[in-house]
Chain A
């Protein structure tokens, strides 16, 4: 998918581009409202990441432009934690999602996948891996054609991992995605570990071995 990243902080922008490129996205970037609008008029994108605080104006302007010219395009807002109002305005005028800085790259990737799925880009709602098929509209998981039963949390974790193929995902990022503001509790209880263990067990039983790799001390990796 082609993604436009409008972010003025160069190191952050570069990391996002690098990470998303590894996930198979084609990324363009802009560092101001002006160049962002230029890029949008020149090319067609599936999704845009828009930082609200830009040097020459507000990202809100860009979102308004997108919703006017290309309402099909997905928009994810990136904001600083203390600009709640911008976030709300952004969602009101049609942004799909928002992320508060700092965020996990894996979370960003998962959100992009989710937006793209919702907006039905690529015409299918199914993630297919070697023998594993995830139908996100039906929330069904098929292993070699046989449906597997997962709890909601196990399913969420699987989707999160599948949204970040090829990358290591920290248990903190996973905990935050699944337990939200109770993530701290989840990490103290090692809940991520026990959920992953169940998930792995179910996949193993269905003959899908080594789909989830544990990277000691850091997190997990989804094998593709």
Chain B
């Protein structure tokens, strides 16, 4: 749910509640005022009636100009001096409006004039009261609706304006890449919260960037600086190996040191290669024909394919040359093919290469279980049975990313498949 929708809902609910209360009070006040005016009117009618009675006028004479209806009854004795007001419905008697009723407000009082006691009721129609009430409620409800609709529309327009720095920030963070050198600059905004957000994000990304750079530089420096000592160790061991007359134990130690150094130096080479890819040091490209590339790789790996008696299946349905860096494409195809052979069945497996216009895939049979997709391309994750460095797939992924390609892995019925979308 959008922030604005949520705000709108709350605002609307509050407005409706406030308006309803308002309507209720306004309604009440108007009614009270109306009643008190009617009562004043009735009281003044009372004065006129009393005055008229004192002057000896007959009842019929006032009815037309004072109120709706006057009823004067002679009583034996005045029992009260209290004015009592009462409101009631009365059905209209007559042809036209039969069934409808009117509301009457009635004042009853007693008085003694010239030794005679009277019980008098004066009543007026207050049907207008209902009408006025209905009008008031109607108008208020109308305003309520109009204001809610206006509110929605205004919010919609304002939000596009108010939230524009926010969306600007959002889209910039989305497209932000830690590897790119430019720092984030946001749209100027007067809104304090957004300014705070922008500043915080700016600080945060700066921090992340500098951490990332330090880490990257550290890795680069380590792998770079390690080369010379590794060279020294490597040549020293080679010279030590030239010596004769070692005991079996010494002999084994030297052999193991040598092999460990070899591993270390291959690892170092891969790390250097990776950081060079990250630093975009492979810019030059050549037109590379993938079919020729595949054929060359198969030829180079012939010995191993023969040794494992792997059947090669080729399905080349396209031959569009690609602009690629030759060094990286060589490393990529090398790694893909070596993996497909290395992890193939010990004997009699198959290796299938399919090339289409927009993709190619390499499938190999294997007795290995499916690779965990979560760690597929992470460095140094290797299955316990593998003696290799576990950076092969990570390197493949890095080059694929560099080429702006996509890679997908699937495993089905003992066949591992890497599909690369060009």
Contacts and interface: CB of A to CB of B under 8 A. Distances in A.
Interface of A: 9, 11-12, 15-16, 18-19, 22, 80-82, 84, 100-106, 167-168, 170, 172-173, 179, 181-182, 184-186, 188-189, 191, 216-219
Contact of A106 (B238, B268, B273): B238
A82 B252 contact: no
A9 B330 CA distance: 32
Contact of B254 (A18, A102, A218): A218
Interface string B262-282: 100110110011011000010
Given A102-B227, A102-B231, A185-B341, 17 more contacts: A12-B232, A12-B235, A15-B238, A19-B238, A80-B228, A81-B273, A84-B276, A84-B281, A100-B269, A102-B234, A105-B238, A179-B303, A188-B387, A189-B304, A216-B251, A218-B241, A219-B241
Given A185-B341, A217-B251, A218-B255, A101 B231 contact: yes
B255 A15 contact: no
Given A172-B262, A182-B334, A182-B338, A15 B239 contact: yes
Contact of A217 (B242, B252, B268, B301): B252
A130 B334 CA distance: 41
B272 A168 contact: no
Interface residues of B, number: 46
A185 to B, nearest CB: 5
Given A11-B232, A170-B258, A82 B272 contact: yes
23 contacts: A11-B232, A11-B235, A11-B236, A12-B232, A12-B235, A81-B268, A84-B276, A101-B228, A101-B230, A102-B233, A102-B234, A102-B265, A106-B238, A170-B238, A170-B241, A179-B303, A181-B334, A186-B303, A189-B304, A217-B255, A218-B254, A218-B255, A219-B241
B1 interface: no
A15 B338 contact: no
A168 B234 contact: no
A102 B242 contact: no
A5 B224 CA distance: 22
B235 A105 contact: yes
B227 A16 contact: no
A9 B331 CA distance: 30
Contact of B228 (A12, A18, A219): A12
Contacts of A82: 220, 223-224, 272, 275-276
Contacts of B252: 217
A185 B334 CA distance: 11
